Structure 1
Amino acid sequence: MLVCSNCNNHQEDGKFCGVCGGALKQALSEEQFNGSIEQSGVSSANSGAAALETQAQPTATAIKSGVSQYWSYFLSLFKNPTRAFQSNEKHYLNGLITLALYAIIFSLSIYFLTNSLMRSFGGFFGESVPFFALVSRLAIAVIITFVITFGSAFAMIRFAKNQETFKTIIAQYGSIIVPFTALNVVAMLGGLIGSYQLTFIPLVISVIFTFTFVPVLFVFEKVSNINKNGQKVYLSLATIVLISLISYILGDALLSSLVEDIEDLLYYVW
């Protein structure tokens, strides 16, 4: 079978098309045509797979690199928390991640311990505590407390005329929380094995230092850098007063419903 290259007319024989007079060429057989389509399809599929793989590789590499960099950052500050005050805007995201991890790991510690205790009371197949309901409420409560304590510290250092950017201050504040985030990890392991002491002792220490001593220490250090003869003692103590005042005023509005929900969830355990 011959086919015209101009008008695609098919005819059995001849050198020129009987319709338009164009040159004729041999038409592809059905097997050749199908083979051409299959080859084109395979080539297209391979190209698509290669493109997806090429796109996935940089993403996976970026994630791996980010995790590695954060781990190095975390380990460095765990060994020497004083380096937190050397953090700058480049560490802003790391600071936020640390604050978020603190809240999440704290919440998981309580959840795992509660779940372990419920199973011990009701047998291995005993009823478990709703994961999201408890963890989300605990995490929100911790985040609100962070907002109050950091906000008070930020107000004091701004009152002392600190000129650093908000991102730098967040980076440094988050960095100084690293050791207490690690302490929460110990508490979480205690919760997993159902150890009351190994969960609550680290958590109590972590909470006291994170929400009481750290804001005071942070303000003292920042004010000292501004003026060594400045009112660093009074401003540090004023931080605690401001935290207490804000907690008293806003605590009922922001935390009371959360605390009630948490108490309802933990009623049969605690």
Structure 2
Amino acid sequence: MKNCLTCGHTQDDGKFCGKCGTPFENAALEQAATINSMSDEQPQSQYAQTDQGTTQSSEQMELIKKQSKLYFNYFLEQIKMPSTNFNVEAAWKNSVTSIILYVLLTALSVFVLIKKFLSGGFGFFESYGPSFIQVFFYMSLFISLLIAINVLAIFLTSKLFSENLSFTNVISKIGNYYTLPVAITVLSILLGLLGSYKYSIMMLYIGFVLVLGCIPIFVMIKLLSNKSKSIDSFYGFIFYLVVTGILSAIIFSFIIDSTIGNFLDFLL
């Protein structure tokens, strides 16, 4: 016979009281043991998840450090010998990294120059000037579109007059030469922060000329000289200039119309 210590009910067997549901002594001990074991397992699982998350974070940091070191070595190599990896497909990721760095750094350099110029207007123009997000976004978009035009023009020209290159091949070949513009743009930012606006603008302009003029033309000439189809390579180069000129004119007209519209809205 078992007596319930809570209500005094008596029954022959069972782990719980049939009247009030209170567990008998052995059942209470088992229940307490189960709760203790669950409470012991929960912190262990939490610790295991924490350790796993820490391990993943450390692995990601190590991977970032490794990739940064590899890119830095690539950067120094390309500064010394820009044409070294012209025919190497493994430079694809590094080329994309260089292009992205140039776009972001150029947008940052333009913002630094704009803020420095506006701050000279006794704070009046600075308060109504464009924000960092506006300058950074529009400049990044503008430069990216111009680079995309060069990539597309070289891609089409190579298909018609030279090798059958893919977009990744073209981007890789162009990006190999972006290390010098990246270094020049960093110098432009430093000069702008130091207040040397004249030389900062000069460095920024040199970077523009290299990226949007010299580099794509050099890549195009090198591709046409390496391998040319039945059509003479001279016409291939003319085709590249025409495509680049037409697409650039469309982009510039769109940007000018948009800029004039925003300026009129600001005045009105």
SS at match of 1:83: coil
Letter in 1 for 2:76: L
- Correspondence for 1:49: 50
Alignment of 1:50-69 (within 5 A): 50-69=51-70
Contact persistence 2:149–2:247 (CA under 8 A): yes
- Correspondence for 1:85: 86
Give the CA deviation at 1:135. 1.2
- Correspondence for 2:13: 19
- Correspondence for 1:188: 189
SS at match of 2:86: helix
Taking the aligned partners of 2:3 and 2:210, their CA distance within structure 1 comes to: 89
Give the CA deviation at 1:113. 1.6
Taking the aligned partners of 2:57 and 2:143, their CA distance within structure 1 comes to: 35
CA shift digits 1:14-59 (9 cap, x unpaired): xxx94169xx969649997776555333323212211211222222
Figure out how many residues of one structure are paired with residues of the other and give that number: 249
Contact persistence 2:188–2:203 (CA under 8 A): yes
CA shift digits 1:73-106 (9 cap, x unpaired): 2222122111241331x33232222222211111
SS at match of 1:176: coil
Alignment of 1:131-150 (within 5 A): 131-150=132-151
- Correspondence for 2:114: 114
Among all aligned residue pairs of Structure 1 and Structure 2, give the percentage whose two residues are the same amino acid. Answer: 19
TM-score normalised over the length of structure 2: 0.77
Contact persistence 2:225–2:233 (CA under 8 A): yes
Contact persistence 1:82–1:176 (CA under 8 A): yes
Letter in 2 for 1:115: K
Taking the aligned partners of 1:249 and 1:45, their CA distance within structure 2 comes to: 58
TM-score normalised over the length of structure 1: 0.76
SS at match of 1:122: coil
Give the CA deviation at 1:131. 0.3
| Consecutive unaligned residues in structure 1, runs of 5 or more | 1-8
Taking the aligned partners of 2:3 and 2:92, their CA distance within structure 1 comes to: 71
Letter in 1 for 2:249: Y
- Greater shift, 36-45 or 193-202, is seen at 36-45
Taking the aligned partners of 2:155 and 2:166, their CA distance within structure 1 comes to: 11
- Correspondence for 1:242: 243
- 1:203 counterpart = 2:204: yes
Give the CA deviation at 1:195. 1.9
Contact persistence 1:215–1:239 (CA under 8 A): no
The alignment's C-alpha RMSD in Å is 3.5
